[in-house]
Chains A and B, each alone.
Chain A
Amino acid sequence: MLHIKDLHVSINGREILKGVNLDVKPGEVHAIMGPNGTGKSTLANVIAGREGYEISGEITFEGKNIFDLAVEDRARAGIFLGFQYPVEIPGVSIMNFLKTAINEKRKFLGQEPMSAGDFLKLVEEKKKVVEIPADLMKRSVNDGFSGGEKKRNEIFQMAMLEPKLAILDETDSGLDIDALRIVATGVTRLKKPENATVVITHYQRLLDFIVPDFVHILYGGRIVKSGDKTLAMELEKQGYDWIKKEFA
């Protein structure tokens, strides 16, 4: 589904990613771990299409080169990025925002706009999945939300947009254990054999709830180690110093 080959990324001449290779197949859950400042968020942003990077290498999504696609077209094609710091949009309700997003996606895919009735049905269904309180739906997008509410809203949007590939960037940061459980349970419930998830995290604790098929350690702009979930546990035990020593 997602194929990354020898990806190099620089910002203002400074190289952040120095040859990343990654393959994600449908149904898989990948965790990308690593100390702060090693390029985890950069990787997520580059896949999503954020501007401002000098890029070389290759990224394909479902066999297509994604560098030809604008941010919004990548999103409509099925790539979703859960933000570490979701943006507040006062005055625009979540419902309105999502209706716009869903219908732009449908238009892109050559489908008719979703009817108001179907939209509401979908909202009701997905609300249960991520346990989103009803009053949150009436509010403006992320406006005055707590950290936990913002992250829950990200997962709710992901549920509504039904992406093929979800990249969750530090979704666990700033969450208490209850919020973490709700967010993680939402992600797990949304898992389907045809979809894939990439979880970017600093800590192992999220992976207690979202069990990954593969764990990759990103350090110094490269994936230095890959393994199964036991790698995350080892990391938890030994800390990042172990990686730093080995790959410094």
Chain B
Amino acid sequence: MTELQKYPVAESLIKAAEKISENDGLWDGRNKAFDAFLSAGFPHKKMEKWRSTDLSEYLNAKYTYIENTDPVSNLNINQVFHCSIENFETALFTLLNGAYVYNTAPLTVMENGVIAGSLRQAWHEFPQLVGQYLSKLTENSVNGLVSLNSALATAGFFIYIPDNIVFDKPVQLVNLVNTEVNPFLQIRNLIVLGKNSKLQFLQCDDSIKDKNSFLNIVSEFHLAEGSHLDHYKLQNKDDSAVMTNTSFFGLQRDAKLSTNTITFNGGNIRNESIVNLNGEGAEAEIMGLYLVDRKQHVDNQVLVRHNVPNCTSHELFKGILDDEASVAFNGHIIVKPDAQKTNAFQSNKNILLTDTAQISTKPFLEIYADDVKCSHGATVGQLDDNAMFYLKQRGICERNAKMLLMYAFADEVVRKITVESLYHQTAEMVSRRLKGELSVCDQCMLHCGSKHPIEFEIDVTRI
């Protein structure tokens, strides 16, 4: 309690919790969750998995807790942004300051049975369906921020893909922040894939106004037997933005997950992926790329639980650090005693361009079964001299040679993007980011109207 109360935002959170518990029509478990938050408090540096990420500096800033008044209609989202990826046709959904934004209806039930839209509306209309999944993956979390989210989030995105349905285009969820105050936001997403269904899901996190924001996002992904989720997170936030992104994945028999988080920019971003392999034959590929400079901080935490035999997990995280940027990677793998024939692989590779950039990388394998294949590796290095010589020998100048090598380094992660148009756009953004040309005004995949003329010395889009 005392630990918590030293932060200016605490008072408004406690008030909000009192108010919300009286609010009908919202999902339950809030009091319990808030109690859990009160006893856990905000994560701090003395906790093993938070050693490299210090939130206190940010929590000392003055944030305004915003209750998500959900859903919001009659807002022409096209005036705020448009997606700039060519030939990228998506089913687009938007959250603005945590509230679900819609034109026609807060929740759509499609002909094929797919339900998508506001989580709050879904709770009203389909309480049984939502109740079956909501908070089921988060209830054992000891992370105070997850408890806080469970207690205070009132809005977010929901999608349900019924059994045997292959959703024909990528679903894009754009999470925008645009307020006059410094917001402290709780956002909750629930993604449910039925048996043998398939979904490509893209989360874009962007800021529009240059305000200090603190976003606490929790997403739950339920993958039923034989289902297949392709998940992408693209993060291009202000240097002043703080974002904690906690994603829980539950995989049943033969389910396949591929999740790829690409961080272009941000003040302090923490991505935590908790992957539960609960059915035999399940496979998870967990990837990330971070390109950081100035005083940015990115922390990727992965926890994979091999709960049953014959599952596979692959982790690949790569990053390039410039200036005084700092990065943490923690890959925690737990192989339960019964989980024989487990394959678990982990790799974290980093390039440090300066002496002042910092990386803390840590594999953490807890293996309780004896018939398993596990490997882990971490590298921290500079650009390869040999490769630099090769490029310069072809007449390519130092700057472009560096750019090409950094691009090549990043490509191992970028090329895993299976949506072609998204791959090309991301590849282009990576090259622009590496050349220092990508500004937050480019708004990730989005533009807020202020376009910068961009010159390409190297046309990386035509690869």
Indicate, yes or no, whether A interacts with B: yes
* B10-18, B183-191, B202-210, B407-415 - interface stretch: B407-415
Query: B454 an interface residue at 8 Å Cβ cutoff?
Result: no
Contact A96 B462 (CB under 8 A): yes
Contact A105 B407 (CB under 8 A): no
Given A72-B395, A92-B407, A101-B395: A87 in contact with B390 (beta carbons within 8 A): yes
The range of chain B's interface size is 20 to 34
With beta carbons under 8 angstroms apart, the residue of B384, B387, B400, B405 that contacts A100 is B400
Contact A104 B460 (CB under 8 A): no
Residues of chain A lying within 8 A (CB to CB) of residue B390: 83, 86-87
Query: A91 an interface residue at 8 Å Cβ cutoff?
Result: yes
Query: A216 an interface residue at 8 Å Cβ cutoff?
Result: no
Query: Considering the chains assembled together, what is the distance between the CA atoms of A97 and B396 in angstroms?
Result: 9
Query: Considering the chains assembled together, what is the distance between the CA atoms of A238 and B162 in angstroms?
Result: 78
Residues of chain B lying within 8 A (CB to CB) of residue A83: 390, 393
8 cross-chain CB contacts under 8 A = A49-B392, A51-B389, A75-B394, A91-B407, A91-B412, A101-B394, A101-B396, A104-B396
Query: Considering the chains assembled together, what is the distance between the CA atoms of A91 and B463 in angstroms?
Result: 7
Query: Considering the chains assembled together, what is the distance between the CA atoms of A80 and B391 in angstroms?
Result: 11
Contact B386 A93 (CB under 8 A): no
Contact B398 A72 (CB under 8 A): yes
Contact B386 A87 (CB under 8 A): yes
Query: A157 an interface residue at 8 Å Cβ cutoff?
Result: yes
Query: A215 an interface residue at 8 Å Cβ cutoff?
Result: no
Residues of chain B lying within 8 A (CB to CB) of residue A76: 395
Query: B427 an interface residue at 8 Å Cβ cutoff?
Result: yes
Contact B389 A93 (CB under 8 A): no
Contact B462 A71 (CB under 8 A): no
Residues of chain A lying within 8 A (CB to CB) of residue B393: 48-49, 71-72, 75, 80-81, 83
Within 8 A of A (CB), among B15-40: none
Query: B457 an interface residue at 8 Å Cβ cutoff?
Result: yes
Residues of chain A lying within 8 A (CB to CB) of residue B405: 89
Proximity string of chain A (57-88) to chain B, C-beta cutoff 8 Å, 1 when within and 0 when not? 00000000000001110011000110101110
Please report B residues at the A interface, Cβ cutoff 8 Å: 384, 386-387, 389-398, 400-401, 404-405, 407-408, 410-412, 414-415, 427, 457-460, 462-463
Given A96-B463, A97-B394, A101-B395: A89 in contact with B387 (beta carbons within 8 A): yes
Contact A70 B412 (CB under 8 A): no
Query: Considering the chains assembled together, what is the distance between the CA atoms of A87 and B409 in angstroms?
Result: 13
Contact A92 B404 (CB under 8 A): yes
Contact A104 B463 (CB under 8 A): no
Residues of chain A lying within 8 A (CB to CB) of residue B389: 45, 48, 50-51, 71
Query: Considering the chains assembled together, what is the distance between the CA atoms of A134 and B392 in angstroms?
Result: 26
Query: Considering the chains assembled together, what is the distance between the CA atoms of A161 and B394 in angstroms?
Result: 8
Query: Considering the chains assembled together, what is the distance between the CA atoms of A83 and B400 in angstroms?
Result: 20
Query: A207 an interface residue at 8 Å Cβ cutoff?
Result: no
Closest Cβ of chain B: how far from A48's Cβ, in Å?
A: 5
Closest Cβ of chain A: how far from B72's Cβ, in Å?
A: 41
Write the chain B residue with the least CB distance to A86. B390
Closest Cβ of chain B: how far from A85's Cβ, in Å?
A: 8
Contact B408 A71 (CB under 8 A): no
With beta carbons under 8 angstroms apart, the residue of A51, A72, A93, A161 that contacts B397 is A72
Residues of chain A lying within 8 A (CB to CB) of residue B395: 72, 75-76, 101-102, 104-105, 108, 161
Closest Cβ of chain A: how far from B303's Cβ, in Å?
A: 29
Write the chain B residue with the least CB distance to A91. B411
Query: Considering the chains assembled together, what is the distance between the CA atoms of A80 and B390 in angstroms?
Result: 10
Query: A99 an interface residue at 8 Å Cβ cutoff?
Result: yes
Residues of chain B lying within 8 A (CB to CB) of residue A101: 394-396
Query: Considering the chains assembled together, what is the distance between the CA atoms of A49 and B457 in angstroms?
Result: 25
Contact A87 B410 (CB under 8 A): no
Beyond the given A45-B389, A71-B389, A108-B395, please list 11 additional residue pairs across the A-B interface where CB-CB is below 8 A. Answer: A75-B394, A75-B395, A87-B386, A89-B404, A91-B415, A91-B463, A97-B394, A97-B404, A100-B404, A100-B458, A140-B408
Query: Considering the chains assembled together, what is the distance between the CA atoms of A92 and B427 in angstroms?
Result: 11
Residues of chain A lying within 8 A (CB to CB) of residue B387: 87, 89
Query: Considering the chains assembled together, what is the distance between the CA atoms of A34 and B412 in angstroms?
Result: 40
Residues of chain A lying within 8 A (CB to CB) of residue B404: 89, 92, 97, 100
Proximity string of chain A (143-178) to chain B, C-beta cutoff 8 Å, 1 when within and 0 when not? 000000000000001000100000000000000000
Query: Considering the chains assembled together, what is the distance between the CA atoms of A108 and B415 in angstroms?
Result: 33
Write the chain B residue with the least CB distance to A50. B389
Query: Considering the chains assembled together, what is the distance between the CA atoms of A157 and B393 in angstroms?
Result: 11
Residue of B408, B457, B460, B462 with most chain A CB atoms under a 10 A cut-off: B408
Contact A100 B462 (CB under 8 A): no
Within 8 A of B (CB), among A84-131: 85-87, 89-93, 95-97, 99-102, 104-105, 108
Residues of chain A lying within 8 A (CB to CB) of residue B415: 90-91
Contact B462 A93 (CB under 8 A): yes
Residues of chain B lying within 8 A (CB to CB) of residue A48: 389, 393
Contact B412 A100 (CB under 8 A): no
Residues of chain A lying within 8 A (CB to CB) of residue B463: 91-93, 96, 140
Contact A104 B400 (CB under 8 A): yes
Residues of chain B lying within 8 A (CB to CB) of residue A99: 459
Residues of chain B lying within 8 A (CB to CB) of residue A104: 395-397, 400
Query: Considering the chains assembled together, what is the distance between the CA atoms of A97 and B408 in angstroms?
Result: 12
With beta carbons under 8 angstroms apart, the residue of A86, A87, A157, A161 that contacts B384 is A87
Residues of chain A lying within 8 A (CB to CB) of residue B394: 75, 97, 101, 157, 161
With beta carbons under 8 angstroms apart, the residue of B391, B392, B410, B459 that contacts A96 is B459
Write the chain B residue with the least CB distance to A138. B463
